[in-house]
Amino acid sequence: MIDTLPKDTIRCDACPVLCYIKLGQTGACDRYGNFNGQLVRVDPHILLDRAKSQGTPVVPFLEREGEWDGTLAKSTDTFVTAIGAGTTYPDYKPAPFIVSSEVDGVDMVTVVTEGIFSYCGVKLKIDTDRHLGPERNLVRAQGEPVGHVTTAEYGSQMLSIGGVHHLTGGTKREGRVTCETLLDLCNGKEVALIIDEGASITVAAGKPPIVNGQQEERMRVGCGSATIGMFAKQWFGKVDEVVVVDDHITGVLSEHQAGKMLGVRETGVAIQGRRSTPGRYFQVAQPGTGWGGTNISDPLVILKPFKPKIAWPYLRLLMVSTTGEQAAYYELDESLRPVEKDLPEQLRESVERVRENCEPALTTVLFMAGAGGSLRAGATENPVKLTNSVKHRLTRVTSGGAPAYIWPGGGITFMVDVSRMPENAFGYVPTPALVAPIEFTLKRADYAGLGGHMDYVRPLDEVLREKQRQRLLTSLPQNPWPLKTPPENDPHR
């Protein structure tokens, strides 16, 4: 079919159509294009519209179906993101968009470009108390090593995925799979990972992790013993005994230090499992998906008969799991056997409180990358000045409009929470490397001072008039407005 391929024509492998794409053209889908011989996603250029009211949900418009009606937003209320802006790599030339706008009487410039990052990766925080694998062990996707286990943090496990050694330092397939894994994680898609000598997990940004086939719901408020410590005062006087069921450490109010301090009377309760210290029991059951991460659905199975010399009829007993998702209330009968009763209102509140204090278990994805020479050259003729300007907080760095944390020290190495960025903000090139949006916003005078490409600065209104390929999104309410001058004490400043 194709007799002679023109020079610089590439073949897209994003779908089975496998289009041949000439330099500067896009494929049949209009989503992938050939920029300087590199396959780049060219989804519509995304503009952020400042949320008119707090909590406005972000609703991405479809390109064809809800096309922008052409209304010009008030210029300070529109921020041009780098998503879909394109890139100038590997040429030493000005960034695709250098946009000026006036904010609170100050002329601001935003340098907008998509960076191609070989030095990049993600840090995963997975909210689970389950053991995912030994520290330093490899994390694999599709059988290829794509990262490793780092540390356990409070209530969560940390993984590092990607990095230049996996992207370009290993086999070709390792690089390709790493790139695909990073792209999916950054774009909020689900990824299956297997840890050597550890767990199989399925994770996606902002969603509960699935560990060995089981979805985590909530982070527990603490272990059973810690829960007793936190809530002892609220239970004291309202109930005679509380057992907090937990696969790790089950807590018993009357025996626990916190109960003793309050003067809670002994109840003669007897727990299955191995006693650690007073009021704390290991291994009351097997791990599972029942009460408090155990395999039980009836909490009474962890109780042995009450000691008849100490217990008394009508003794009031609350049993609750560490997440407050399960609770049951009992009173002892004449023969000291627990009989289930309705949970009294005053205890219901405390169970609710336990539940409220359990945050939803999530996977969070922070993208981390370093802005290299050619990217900075797109912003200024003197790249180190841009670095210094960022360090001195004269230049604000955002990624798709989301605030970026800049690591101290040399270079511009940044981290950004991908869930604060618009949908599908990331792309890739077959190098393999990730394509991520990056915007530098600074005062016009400062931009001139650091050798900016002043000849290429265009007013915002002019950029907005080029309606083709633009999409207007509402900015996320939790993000600071990228063009707003931050207060003096803002740590991001």
Partner 1 sequence: MRDPATIRLLPDGQRLHLNDGPIDLIIGADGAAKEIRRAYGAAARRFVRILDELCAELPLLRTRQTHNSELPAGAIARRMTDAVSPYRDRCFITPMAAVAGAVAEAVLDAMTKAAQLRRSYVNNGGDIALHLVSGQSYTIGMVERPETTSLFASVEVSSAVPVRGVATSGWRGRSFSLGIADAVTVLAETAAHADAAATIIANAINLPNHPAILRIPAREIAPDSDLLDLPVTHAVGPLRLQEIAQALDAGMVVADQLRSQHLIHSAALCLQGHVRITSSLCRDGLLRPSVAAHLPSRESETAIVIPSEARNLPLRSVYEEPSLCPK
Q: Point out which residues bind partner 1 (CB under 8 A).
A: 1-2, 5-6, 9, 13-22, 25, 27-30, 57, 59, 62, 64-67, 69-70, 176, 179-180, 183, 189, 428, 468
Q: What are phi and psi of 294, to 5 degrees?
A: -95, 180
Q: Tell whether the torsion through CA atoms of 182, 143, 14 and 22 is positive or negative.
A: positive
Alpha carbon distances (Å) from 6 to 3, 10, 21, 91, 139 = 10, 9, 10, 21, 42
Nearer to partner 1, 16 or 409 (CB): 16
d(CA 143, CA 122): 19
Nearer to partner 1, 13 or 462 (CB): 13
Closest distance of CB 62 from partner 1, Å: 7
Closest distance of CB 363 from partner 1, Å: 19
Nearest CA to 302 among 325, 322, 327, 284? Answer: 284
Nearer to partner 1, 24 or 344 (CB): 24
Sheet of strand 338-341: strand arrangement: 274-275, 280-282, 250-252, 241-245, 316-321, 327-332, 338-341
| Residue 107 near residue 158 (C-beta atoms within 8 A) | no
Nearer to partner 1, 29 or 152 (CB): 29
State the virtual CA torsion across 154, 155, 159, 160 in degrees, nearest 10: -40
Nearer to partner 1, 67 or 196 (CB): 67
Q: Record the tokens describing residue 188, joined without a space.
A: 């909020």
Closest distance of CB 48 from partner 1, Å: 17
Q: What are phi and psi of 419, to 5 degrees?
A: -75, -10
Closest distance of CB 374 from partner 1, Å: 24
| Residue 361 near residue 128 (C-beta atoms within 8 A) | yes
Closest distance of CB 176 from partner 1, Å: 7
Closest distance of CB 158 from partner 1, Å: 27
102: Cβ contacts below 8 Å, ≥ 6 apart: 75, 76, 108
Q: What are phi and psi of 430, to 5 degrees?
A: -70, 0
Q: Record the tokens describing residue 15, joined without a space.
A: 């779908």
Q: Tell whether the torsion through CA atoms of 100, 61, 477 and 420 is positive or negative.
A: negative
Nearer to partner 1, 9 or 413 (CB): 9
Nearer to partner 1, 183 or 252 (CB): 183
Nearer to partner 1, 231 or 428 (CB): 428
Closest distance of CB 70 from partner 1, Å: 8
Closest distance of CB 463 from partner 1, Å: 18
Closest distance of CB 21 from partner 1, Å: 8
Nearer to partner 1, 180 or 216 (CB): 180
Nearer to partner 1, 21 or 242 (CB): 21
| Residue 27 near residue 12 (C-beta atoms within 8 A) | yes
Nearer to partner 1, 42 or 269 (CB): 42
Q: Record the tokens describing residue 2, joined without a space.
A: 């194709």
| Residue 326 near residue 320 (C-beta atoms within 8 A) | yes
Closest distance of CB 2 from partner 1, Å: 6
| Residue 308 near residue 336 (C-beta atoms within 8 A) | yes
| Eight-class DSSP state of 382 | S
| Residue 192 near residue 201 (C-beta atoms within 8 A) | yes
Closest distance of CB 9 from partner 1, Å: 6
